[in-house]
Chain A
């Protein structure tokens, strides 16, 4: 084995730094999936009757569905009867302020690098913390409510704004949409709810931090973002999980609605536990449905994602471009190392006139991992002058990994213009030697090359997030290249 190869091995085998388990009392339900469990979850959450009915309807459909197999990933299908569908850290009473937080919980945040003290001072980011099945804390709620912005856990929204939740829940991702969306609809426990009223530009980033803590638990969160006419919001999501030998299932649903002239930016830094680097054992199955609809004219939805974690990732944040002149964007960096597998991309569905979409996907594969881009650009019959530009670049590190691109294009309107560019490159010895000859060691060189490769996407992230994402990227690939 050459030095080059062993350096690559070092880099790709860095440790997962968020793998600890916090020890607090948990309120859980027995494992297994059944109508009774769904009723129990609904009862624990004190939900209205209509929501329980909605769940049960979804469950009925779910039982008629089979797990799809078309993705370019291989895994042992999770046994849904072995999963606990509800787990909540027990708090003694409702918190009046962050200062009353359980010390163990507080220490968990600190270890995650989310210091609560700091959060209190961070003036421009409001955060909702979701641990396992429940939201534990939302910051800046009051400040936001003065503007009419609703930012709360999903459960609270169900209690406080049932009419809004009822109106939009399932309007973009219907319960029957797909296998895991149906499962989520039946058993979802919490998540975030954002509502930006007409004409309001949300003055701070809204952010949700998801954490799976309890063993044997799945996380099924639901996020709903609604931006009324002329509204603007930028939303961020981050996530981690403890290191466990069994696979954990994360099946979330995110729905975004953008009305006339509204703009929603949704950014994700996904860092679920990727499994044991040497054996490939354990890790999170990240099977997520994310979809937005540009409902009104001139509206805009933009997805930016940095995917570094999970054993298996399977998701396609999509935009339905219904309103005339609406714009959908997808910027993605997906990194796989060791035994990770990712099949990710986007769908852009052009329905309105003069609709535009832009796709920039950067895949990085190292170790023995497999990384696939899968995208669909669909132009419907009446989507006059639809325009799409797609760029899919893959970077390979070492010679035991794979990159795959599956672009699908369906155009039903002759005026549509669709452009697709794709490249595959390898961080080769020549590139590294060039950097070494300029005095850089292999790690510095690799970091430099990778940062260059992903630059276009990183620039789309909100500033605070970009720094974190860059750090995460270098930690993930530590020893592979930088």
Chain B
């Protein structure tokens, strides 16, 4: 589905990603872990097309298309979804209106008519019950005055409605208590199919108790230095990142 080769990127002239290689196939869940400043969120932003980041080398192939060549909105319409670490508030814009606009933009791109109001309502209510979200949510202003848990659930609801091929969850567990974490993880699991894939970016292994990854990658100084299965996450939880750093030094 997505093939990242030797991806390099910098911000304000400072190199952050120093050659990332990663391939994610349909039906897979990949976790990316790493200490603060290792480049995890940068990777998410670069894939989504955020302007502040300059791609200095490498390539990203997404379903046969050169992803880096697409505008951010077209990446979304092609099926890349980023669940933000800090979703921004848009006062006066209801969740229903926001999601409907997003859904219709995607439909337009794929040559489809706008979704009928009744169909939209039916669909969003289904997804909301799947994700255990109250109906009152729809009329609220997007992320305005939301708790951490509400913001993240809103992200997952949008993901459910847009039905992306690839979801990138950027620190989705940050700011969540364990109950909220379970609900969010549960939602992600319910949306999983053999046609879509996820990249889960996280600091802590606790999210991976609930969203079980097929692969775990360790990002260090802008490079993936170690890959393994879910046991690698447990090992990191126990021993921290220093032993990997040591290993790297020894190799060098």
Q: Is A452 an interface residue (CB 8 A)?
A: yes
Residues of B within 8 A of A453 (CB): 91-92
On whether the beta carbons of A451 and B93 are closer than 8 Å, the reply is yes
Q: A425, A429, A440, A455: which contacts B101 (Cβ < 8 A)?
A: A440
Task: Provide the bound-state CA to CA distance between A452 and B95, in Å.
Answer: 11
Q: Is the CB of A440 within 8 A of B105?
A: yes
Q: Which residues of chain A (406-458) have a CB below 8 Å from chain B?
A: 425, 429-431, 433-441, 444, 448-449, 451-456
B91 touches A433 (CB 8 A): no
Asked whether, in the complex, the Cβ of B92 is within 8 Å of the Cβ of A431, the reply is: no
Q: Give Cα distance in the complex from A440 to B162, angstroms.
A: 12
Which of B69-77, B125-133, B174-182 is the contact stretch? B69-77
B141 and A452 within 8 A (CB): yes
Binds A, one of B6-14, B81-89, B227-235: B81-89
Q: Mark B30-62, 1 if CB is under 8 A from A, else 0.
A: 000000000000000000111110000000000
Query: Which residue from A2, A431, A441 sits with its C-beta under 8 Å from B90?
Result: A431
Query: Which residue of chain B has its CB nearest to the CB of A434?
Result: B88
Per the bound structure, the CA–CA distance linking A422 and B61 in Å amounts to 47
**A429 touching B92, Cβ below 8 Å:** no
Q: Return the contact of B73 from the options A436, A451, A455, A456 (Cβ within 8 A).
A: A436
At the interface, yes or no: A118 with Cβ under 8 Å from chain B? no
Hey, which chain B residues are within 8 Å of A20, CB to CB?
A: none
A447-482 interface mask toward B, CB cutoff 8 Å, 1 = contact, 0 = none? 011011111100000000000000000000000000
Cβ–Cβ contact A444 & B101, under 8 A: yes
A265 to B51 alpha-carbon distance, docked (Å)? 46
Asked if B93 and A438 sit within 8 Å, CB to CB, the answer is no
The reply to whether B51 and A3 form a contact with Cβ atoms under 8 Å apart is yes
On chain B, the residues within 8 Å of A4 by CB distance are 51
- The residue from B75, B90, B102, B158 contacting A452, defined by CB atoms under 8 A apart: B90
B73 touches A440 (CB 8 A): yes
Interface residues of B in 68-125 (CB under 8 A from A): 71-73, 75-77, 81-82, 84, 87-88, 90-93, 97-98, 101-102, 105-106, 109
- Contact between B76 and A436 (Cβ–Cβ < 8 Å)? yes
The interface centre, meaning the residue of B75, B105, B141 with most chain A CB atoms within 10 A of its CB, is B105
Contacts of A425 in B (CB 8 A): 91
Taking the closest CB of chain B, its distance from the CB of A150, in whole angstroms, is 39
A2 touching B51, Cβ below 8 Å: yes
Given the interface contacts A3-B51, A444-B101, A448-B98, does A437 sit within 8 Å of B72 by beta carbon?
yes
> Which of B92, B93, B101, B109 lies in contact with A456, CB distance below 8 A?
B92
Query: Known interface pairs A433-B50, A439-B77, A440-B73. Does A452 touch B93 (Cβ–Cβ under 8 Å)?
Result: yes
Name the residue in A3, A444, A452, A454 with the highest tally of chain B Cβ atoms < 10 Å from its Cβ: A452
| Contact A438 B48, CB 8 Å, known A449-B90, A456-B92 | no
CB B28 to nearest CB in A, in angstroms, measures 22
User: Is A440 a contact partner of B92 (Cβ separation < 8 A)?
Assistant: no
Chain A residue with the shortest CB-CB distance to B97: A448
CB contact between B76 and one of A438, A454, A455 (< 8 Å): that residue: A438
List chain B residues, Cβ under 8 A from A441: 71, 73, 105
Minimal Cβ-Cβ distance residue in B for A454: B92
Q: How far is the CA of A438 from the CA of B158 in the complex (A)?
A: 8
Q: Tell me which residues across on chain A come within 8 A of B101, comparing CB atoms.
A: 438, 440, 444, 448
CB distance from A325 to the nearest CB of B (A): 31
Contact A434 B87 (CB under 8 A): yes
> Which of A429, A435, A439, A452 contacts B106, CB < 8 Å?
A439
Return the contact of B72 from the options A436, A444, A454 (Cβ within 8 A): A436
Q: Smallest distance from the beta carbon of B142 to chain A beta carbons, Å?
A: 8
**Distance in angstroms between the alpha carbons of A199 and B57 in the assembled complex:** 77
Within 8 Å by CB of A437, from B48, B92, B93, B142, lies B48
Asked if A452 contacts B51 (CB within 8 A), the reply is no
Across-interface contacts of A449 in B (CB, < 8 A):
90, 93
Q: Is the CB of A439 within 8 A of B88?
A: no
Q: Which residues of A contact B51 (CB under 8 A)?
A: 2-4, 429, 433
Residues of A within 8 A of B93 (CB): 448-449, 451-452
A451–B97 alpha-carbon span in the complex (Å): 11
CA distance A437 to B70 in the complex (A): 12
- Given A2-B51, A3-B51, A448-B101, are A437 and B91 also a contact pair (CB < 8 Å)? no
Contact status A455-B84, CB under 8 Å = no
- B144 shortest CB reach to chain A, Å: 9
Docked complex Cα distance between A410 and B22 (Å) = 66
Q: Which residue of A lies closest to B93 (CB)?
A: A452
B76 touches A452 (CB 8 A): no
* Residues in B whose Cβ lies below 8 Å from that of A438: 76, 98, 101-102, 105, 158, 162
Indicate with 1 or 0, residue by residue over B171-215, a CB within 8 angstroms of chain A CB atoms: 000000000000000000000000000000000000000000000
Give Cα A205 to B90, complex, Å: 33
Chain A residues, CB < 8 A from B158: 438
Q: Which residues of chain B from 134 to 152 have any CB-CB distance to chain A below 8 Å in the complex?
A: 141-142
User: Are B90 and A440 interface neighbours, CB within 8 A?
Assistant: no
Decide yes or no: A439 and B92 within 8 Å by CB, A4-B51, A444-B101 being known contacts. Answer: no
- Contact A437 to B105, CB < 8 A, known contacts A431-B88, A452-B91: no
- Tell me, in angstroms, the Cα distance from A435 to B142 when the chains sit together: 11
Chain B residues within 8 Å of A454, by CB: 92
Q: CA of A430 to CA of B90 in the docked complex: distance in angstroms?
A: 11
Contact indicator A452/B73 (Cβ below 8 Å): no
Taking CB as reference atom, which chain A residue is nearest B86?
A: A430
Please state if B76 and A439 are interface contacts (CB–CB under 8 Å): yes
Inter-chain contacts of A435 with B (CB < 8 A): 90
Give chain B nearest CB distance to A332 CB in angstroms: 15
Chain B residue contacts of A434, Cβ below 8 A: 84, 87-88, 90
CB distance from A322 to the nearest CB of B (A): 34
Q: B105 is contacted by which of A430, A433, A444, A455 (Cβ under 8 Å)?
A: A444
Closest to A362 in B: B92
Residues of A contacting B109 in the complex (Cβ-Cβ under 8 angstroms): 439
List the B side residues contacting A430 at CB < 8 Å.
88
Q: Do the beta carbons of A451 and B92 come within 8 Å of each other?
A: yes
Cα distance A451–B141 when bound, in Å? 12
B residues neighboring A (CB under 8 Å): 48-52, 71-73, 75-77, 81-82, 84, 87-88, 90-93, 97-98, 101-102, 105-106, 109, 141-142, 158, 162
Q: Which 8 A-B pairs have the closest CB atoms?
A: A452-B92, A452-B93, A438-B102, A439-B76, A436-B72, A439-B105, A455-B92, A436-B73
Can you list 6 A-B contacts with CB-CB less than 8 angstroms, sorted by A residue number? A2-B51, A4-B51, A434-B87, A436-B71, A437-B49, A440-B73
- Beyond the given pairs A433-B72, A437-B72, 14 more chain A to chain B contacts, judged by CB atoms under 8 angstroms and listed by A's residue number, are A2-B51, A431-B90, A436-B72, A437-B73, A437-B76, A438-B101, A438-B102, A439-B162, A440-B73, A441-B105, A448-B98, A448-B101, A452-B90, A454-B92
